[in-house]
């Protein structure tokens, strides 16, 4: 069992570990649990009733959170010609083609999101071993391989969050900062849950949304009733 410091243990007393909070209560409480000096990120962890070992039950996608995530997102785009111009006009910090692929191979990693046009993927594909482990590899399923790079850049900067099930069938995603209002965090959390329901695998059986928890960076978690949150039929 991990050892926690005095600050962590003190704020942890505010959480009843045997209680499943309502989404509204959980959002209100998690804002009080940060022990960092900076504006901590609020992370959501949602357990799904899927078997991630089966390829047809892996849940992966992206959602644009209505209130953003409270972070400046640096976007890199692999594109050329008019698409490159559209990416720059939309606010992408780094835009390029073959030379940019070589630069990333050489260690340039000062970006948070990577987007590519379909025609660039035969070249970008060789970056899989570099970008894949970091969760940065462009992928059509998450909307980061697209001809409409301008839209993808704007969404990334507006608060677009990618998600995918881990080995335990759990989705981890940021939903904002502890400085956000309760209403803003709740709206973002609801948008994430609705996106997960829309991404529900056709072959999934039984309870889909199993459980949910919220936690600030380095702080204790709050369990909440994830099924009380959705506006979409599961």
Domain boundaries, the chain: 16-69+160-228, 75-158
Report the topology of domain 75-158.
Answer: Rossmann fold (3.40.50)
Residue 217 has pLDDT above 70, yes or no: yes
Is the alpha carbon torsion for 218, 36, 192, 159 positive or negative? negative
| Predicted local confidence at residue 71, as pLDDT | 86
Beta-strand ranges (E) seen in 79-124 are 94-96, 113-116
Q: For the whole prediction, is pTM greater than 0.85?
A: no
3-state class (DSSP) for residue 188: helix
Mean predicted confidence (pLDDT) in 144-161? 93
Query: What is the Cα–Cα distance from 201 to 198, expressed in whole angstroms?
Result: 9
Closest CA to 171 of 140, 204, 197: 197
What's the CATH superfamily of 16-69+160-228?
Ribosomal protein L1/L10, rRNA-binding domain (3.30.190.20)
Mean predicted confidence (pLDDT) in 187-216? 94
Q: Is 13 exposed, middle or buried (0-12, 13-18, 19+ CB in 10 A)?
A: exposed
The first and second tokens of residue 140, run together, are 């059509």
The first and second tokens of residue 72, run together, are 């400046």
Residue 1 has pLDDT above 50, yes or no: no
Whether 115 and 84 have beta carbons less than 8 Å apart is answered as no
The first and second tokens of residue 178, run together, are 């502890």
Longest pairwise C-alpha distance within the chain: 57
pLDDT tens, residue by residue, 29-87: 999 999 999 999 999 999 999 998 898 898 999 899 999 999 889 999 999 999 999 99
Query: What is the Cα–Cα distance from 78 to 122, expressed in whole angstroms?
Result: 11
pLDDT tens, residue by residue, 154-190: 999 988 898 999 999 999 999 999 999 999 999 999 9
- Residue listed under structure tokens 């070589």: 102
pLDDT tens, residue by residue, 104-138: 999 999 999 999 999 999 999 999 999 999 989 99
Query: What is the Cα–Cα distance from 15 to 33, expressed in whole angstroms?
Result: 9
| Predicted local confidence at residue 166, as pLDDT | 93
């Amino acid at each position: 069992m991990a050892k926690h410091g005095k600050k962590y243990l003190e704020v942890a007393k505010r959480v009843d570990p045997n209680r499943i909070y309502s989404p509204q209560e959980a959002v209100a409480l998690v804002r009080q649990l940060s022990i960092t000096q900076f504006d901590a990120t609020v992370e959501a962890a949602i357990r799904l009733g899927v078997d991630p070992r089966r390829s047809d039950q892996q849940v992966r996608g992206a959602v644009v959170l209505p209130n953003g995530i409270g972070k400046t997102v640096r976007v890199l785009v692999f594109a050329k010609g008019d698409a490159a111009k559209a990416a720059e006009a939309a606010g992408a910090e780094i835009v390029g083609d073959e030379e940019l692929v070589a630069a990333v191979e050489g260690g340039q990693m000062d970006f948070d999101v990577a987007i590519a046009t379909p025609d660039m993927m035969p070249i970008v594909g060789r970056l899989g071993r570099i970008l894949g482990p970091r969760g940065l590899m462009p992928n059509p399923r998450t909307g980061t391989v697209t001809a409409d790079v301008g839209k993808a850049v704007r969404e990334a900067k507006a608060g677009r969050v990618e998600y995918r099930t881990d080995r335990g069938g759990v989705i981890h995603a940021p939903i904002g900062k502890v400085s956000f209002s309760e209403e803003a965090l709740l709206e973002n959390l609801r948008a994430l849950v609705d996106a997960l329901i829309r991404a529900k695998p056709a072959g999934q059986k039984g309870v889909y949304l199993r459980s949910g928890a919220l936690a600030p960076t380095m702080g204790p978690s709050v369990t909440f009733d994830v099924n009380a949150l959705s506006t979409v039929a599961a």
